[in-house]
Structure 1
Amino acid sequence: MKQDTSNQGTPDVLVIGGGNAALCAALTAREAGASVLLLEAAPREWRGGNSSHTRNLRCMHDAPQDVLTDAYPEEEFWQDLKKVTGGRTNEQLARLAIRESSRCRDWMRRHGVHFQPSLSGTLHLSRTNAFFMGGGKALVNAYYRSAEALGVRVRYEAPVDRLEVVDGEFRAAWIGQERIAARACVLASGGFESNREWLREAWGQNSDGEWPADNFAIRGTRFNRGVLLKAMMEAGADTIGDPSQSHCVAVDARAPLYDGGICTRIDCVSLGIVVNKHAQRFYDEGEDFWPKRYAIWGRLVAQQPGQVGFSVIDSKAVGRFMPPVFPGAKADTLEGLARQLGLDEQAFVRTVRDYNAACRVGTFDHTVLDDCHTDGVTPAKTHWALPLDTAPFYGYALKPGITFTYLGVKVDERAAAHFKGEPSRNLFVAGEMMAGNVLGQGYTAGVGMTIGTVFGRIAGASAAAATRKEGVEHAAA
Structure 2
Amino acid sequence: MADEKFLTYDVVVVGAGNAALCAGISAKENGSKVLILEKGPIQKRGGNSFFTDGAIRTAYRDLEELREVLPGITDEEAARIYMPVYNEEDYYNDLMRVTEGKSDPQLAKQLVSQSMKVIKWLYENGVIFELNENQSFEKDGKTHFWGGLPLKTKNKGVGLVAQLNERVAELGIDVWYESRAIKLEMENHQVTAIQIEQPEGIVTVRTGSVILACGGFEANQTMRSEHLGSQWDAAIVRGSEYNTGDGLKIALEAGAQAYGDWSGCHSIGTDLNAPKVGDFTKPGDIFKKSSFPLGLIFNNEGNRFVDEGADFRNYTYAKYGREVLKQPGHMAYQIFDAQVHPMLRKEYFLEEATFFKADSLEQLADLIKIDKEQFLQTIEAYNQAVQEGDYNPTVKDGKGTKGITPPKSNWALRMDQGPFYAFPVTCGITFTFGGVHVNPTGEVLDKEGAPISGLYAAGEMVGGLFYENYPGGSGLMSGAVFGKFAGASASRYVRGKTKDIVNQ
2:417 maps to: 390
CA distance in structure 1 between the partners assigned to 2:421 and 2:499 by the alignment? 67
Partner of 1:162: 183
Matches within 5 A, 1:423-462: 423-434=451-462, 436-462=463-489
Give the deviation of 1:121 after TM superposition: 5.4
Aligned-partner Cα distance in 1 for 2:408–2:56? 30
Contact 2:190–2:453 (8 Å) recurs in 1: yes
CA shift for structure 1 position 185: 0.8
Structure 2 residue 497 is the aligned partner of structure 1 residue 476: no
Tell me the distance in 2 between the aligned counterparts of 1:70 and 1:84: 20
Is 2:267 the partner of 1:248? Answer: yes
Q: Are the aligned partners of 2:146 and 2:395 in contact in 1 as well (CA < 8 Å)?
A: no
Greater Cα shift, 394-403 or 299-308: 299-308
Moved more, 307-316 or 168-177: 168-177
Contact 1:18 1:38 in 2 (8 A): yes
The alignment of Structure 1 onto Structure 2 pairs a total of residues equal to 465
Q: Which moved more, 1:53-62 or 1:120-129?
A: 120-129
SS of 1:330's partner is strand
Q: Which of 89, 113, 124 lines up with 1:110 in the alignment? A: 124
1:73 to 62, 66, 87: 87
Structure 1 stretch 177-186 or stretch 64-73: which is displaced more?
Answer: 64-73
The amino acid across from 1:233 in the alignment is L
1:231-257, Cα deviation, whole Å (9 max, x unpaired): 222332101123231111111111111
- Superposition map of 1:362-373 within 5 A: 362-373=389-400
1:330-345 pair list within 5 angstroms: 330-345=357-372
Q: What corresponds to 1:23 in structure 2? A: 21
Q: 1:275 to 1:70 in 2, by over 3 A?
A: closer
Give SS of 1:374's match: coil
CA distance in 1, matches of 2:49, 2:371: 40
State the 1:70 CA deviation. 4.7
CA contact (8 A) 1:187 1:433 kept: yes
Q: 1:119-164: per-residue Cα shift (whole Å, max 9, x none)?
A: 2554535854421112221121111121122121111111112333
Give, in whole Å, the separation in 1 of the partners of 2:186 and 2:267. 32
Which of 172, 191, 195 in structure 2 is aligned with 1:151? 172
Q: Distance in 2 between matches of 1:344 and 1:303?
A: 17
* Number of the residue aligned with 1:135: 156
- Determine if contact 2:11/2:32 at 8 Å carries over to the other structure: yes
Q: Secondary structure at the match of 1:59?
A: coil
Is this contact kept in 2: 1:361–1:385, CA < 8 A?
Answer: no
Which letter does structure 2 place at the counterpart of 1:75?
Answer: E
Task: Find out whether 1:48 has 2:73 as its counterpart.
Answer: no
C-alpha separation between the residues in 1 aligned to 2:26 and 2:362? 59
1:170–1:426: 8 Å Cα contact kept in structure 2? Answer: yes
- Normalised by the size of structure 1, how large is the TM-score? 0.93
Extract unaligned runs of 5+ from structure 1.
1-5, 205-210
Give me the whole-angstrom Cα distance separating, in 1, the residues matched to 2:391 and 2:211.
49
1:294 aligned to 2:322? no
Distance in 2, Cα, partners of 1:70 & 1:273: 28
* Amino acid in structure 1 at the alignment position of 2:489: S
Letter in 2 for 1:319: P
Match of 2:490 in 1: 463
Match of 1:304 in 2: 327
Give secondary structure in 2 for the equivalent of 1:453: helix
Which residue in the other structure is 1:3 paired with? none
Change (3 A) 1:126 1:199: closer
Partner of residue 214, structure 1: 233
- Equivalent residue in structure 2 for 1:228, among 247, 272, 275: 247
Distance 1:157 1:458 in 2: 26
- Is 2:386–2:400's contact at 8 Å kept on the other side of the alignment? yes
Residues 1:360 and 2:360 are matched in the alignment: no
Alignment RMSD? 1.9
SS at match of 1:438: coil
Q: Map Cα deviations across residues 355-375 of structure 1 (whole Å, 9 max, x no partner).
A: 111111311111111132111
**Distance across 1 between alignment mates of 2:389 and 2:240:** 44
- The TM-score, its normalising length taken from structure 2, stands at 0.88
The answer as to whether partners of 1:361 and 1:371 remain within 8 angstroms in 2 is no
Q: Distance in 2 between matches of 1:231 and 1:390?
A: 56
